[in-house]
Chains A and B, each alone.
Chain A
Amino acid sequence: MNTRPDRDGEEQLRLLGAAWEGAAQHWRDEVARQFEADHWTPLAQQSRAYLEALGRMMDALESAERETEF
C-alpha cells in the first residue's frame, strides 16, 4: 500500500508513544524522570513538529500536482 510518509510517521510515533507509556508506567525513579525530560519529551515534540511540517509539505505537493493538470 502506498501511503503518505507523514501518515506512516505518525503511526510509528504513536507506536513509540505506546511503548513509552508501557515502560514509564513501571519505571519511576530519578533516572526515569531524567530520561523523560532529556530524551523522551524532546524526541516526541520534535517528531510531532516534523510530521506536521511534512504533512503541510505533502498537502502542498498534492495541490501543486492537482492544480496544474489541464
Chain B
Amino acid sequence: MRPVHADIDALKGFHEALVRFRYAAREAADRGEAEIEMTRASLAAKASRWQAQLEQDQAELDACRSRGGADCSAYALAVEQSRERLEHVRRWQQRVEVQAGEFGGVASVFRNLLESGVPRSESQLLASIAHLEAARRVQAGGS
C-alpha cells in the first residue's frame, strides 16, 4: 500500500465545512427566493394602490368637467401624476420579472448542485477518508 500523503484531520474538517456549506447555501437560496416573492408582492400592492388612486383622480376630474366652466387643471394634473406613477411601478414589475427569469436558470443549476452534487462530493470525501485511515492503520501496523 502506498504511503498516506494527507492530513486526515484536515480532510475531516473540509468534510464538515462542506456539510455546513450545503445547509447554509440552501438557507441563503431560500432567503433569496423569499426576497423575490416579497418584492413581487410589494410591487403588486403599489400598482394596485396607484390604480385605485388613478381611478379616484379620474372620477374627480370627470366630476369637475361635468360642472362646466370650472378650472379642472389641478384634477387633470393629479390624473397625469397617478398615471405616470402607475406606469413607473409596472415598468419595475417587468424589470424584476426579466431579472427573475434570468436568475431562475442559474438558481436551478445551483439547487441541483446542493441537492445532488454536494452530497456526492461528501460521500466521495468520506470514502477517501476511510481509505486513507485504513492505509494509515496498515502502515502503523507494519512499522
Residues of A within 8 A of B (CB): 5-6, 8-9, 12-13, 15-16, 19-20, 22-23, 25-29, 31-32, 35, 38-40, 42-43, 46-47, 49-50, 53-54, 56-58, 60-61, 63-65, 67-68, 70
A57–B14 touching, CB < 8 Å: no
Contact residues in B for A15 (Cβ distance below 8 Å)? 17, 20-21
B121–A57 touching, CB < 8 Å: no
A-B contact count (CB 8 A): 144
Judge whether B61 is part of the interface by a CB distance below 8 angstroms: no
Residues of B within 8 A of A (CB): 2, 5-7, 10-11, 13-14, 16-18, 20-21, 24-25, 27-29, 31-32, 35-36, 39, 42-43, 46, 85, 88-89, 92-93, 95-96, 99-100, 102-103, 106-107, 109-110, 113, 117-118, 120-121, 124-125, 128, 131
CA distance A60 to B99 in the complex (A): 7
A17: shortest Cβ distance to chain B, in Å? 9
CA distance A53 to B102 in the complex (A): 8
Complex: chain A residue closest to B38, CB-CB: A61
B-side interface mostly: helix
A57–B6 touching, CB < 8 Å: no
Residue from the list A47, A50, A68 in contact with B88, Cβ < 8 A: A68
Contact residues in B for A43 (Cβ distance below 8 Å)? 113, 117-118, 121
B31–A5 touching, CB < 8 Å: yes
For the complex of A and B, 4 pairs with smallest distance between CB atoms? A19-B17, A26-B7, A50-B110, A23-B14
B42–A65 touching, CB < 8 Å: yes
If the complex has contacts A5-B31, A19-B17, A60-B95, are A68 and B5 also in contact, measured as CB distance less than 8 A? no
Contact residues in A for B39 (Cβ distance below 8 Å)? 61, 64-65
If the complex has contacts A5-B31, A47-B25, A57-B32, are A27 and B10 also in contact, measured as CB distance less than 8 A? yes
**What are 7 contact pairs spanning A and B, CB under 8 A?**
A16-B17, A22-B14, A26-B7, A31-B131, A58-B35, A60-B95, A61-B39
